[in-house]
Amino acid sequence: MKIDRTALRILALLQEQADLSVNEVARRLDIPASSCHRRFRALEASGLIRGRVALVDGAALGLSTVAFVAIRTSQHEPAWLAAFARAAAAMPEILEIHRLSGTVDYLLKVVVPDIAGFDAFYKRLIAVVPLYDVSTSFSMERIKETTALPLGLARIEAEAQAPRPTKGARPRARAARGRSPRRSR
- The domains of the chain, with CATH numbers, are 5-53 (1.10.10.10), 59-138 (3.30.70.920)
Sign of CA dihedral 9, 10, 14, 20: positive
In this prediction, residue 33 carries a pLDDT of 96
In this prediction, residue 168 carries a pLDDT of 53
Whole-structure pTM value: 0.77
Sign of CA dihedral 50, 56, 61, 65: positive
Distance CA 135, CA 72 (A): 9
Given a cut of 70, the residues of the chain with pLDDT beneath it are: 158-185
Distance CA 17, CA 54 (A): 9
Distance CA 56, CA 71 (A): 27
In this prediction, residue 156 carries a pLDDT of 81
In this prediction, residue 167 carries a pLDDT of 55
In this prediction, residue 155 carries a pLDDT of 86
In this prediction, residue 176 carries a pLDDT of 42
Distance CA 37, CA 23 (A): 8
DSSP code string of the chain: ----HHHHHHHHHHHH-TT--HHHHHHHHT--HHHHHHHHHHHHHHTSS--------TGGGT--EEEEEEEE-S---HHHHHHHHHHHHT-TTEEEEEE-SSS-SEEEEEEESSHHHHHHHHHHHHHHS--SEEEEEE-S----------GGGS--PPP-SPPPPPTTPPPPP--BTTBPPPPP-
Q: pLDDT, tens digit, for every residue of 69-119?
A: 999 999 999 999 999 999 999 999 999 999 999 999 999 999 999 999 999
In this prediction, residue 2 carries a pLDDT of 82
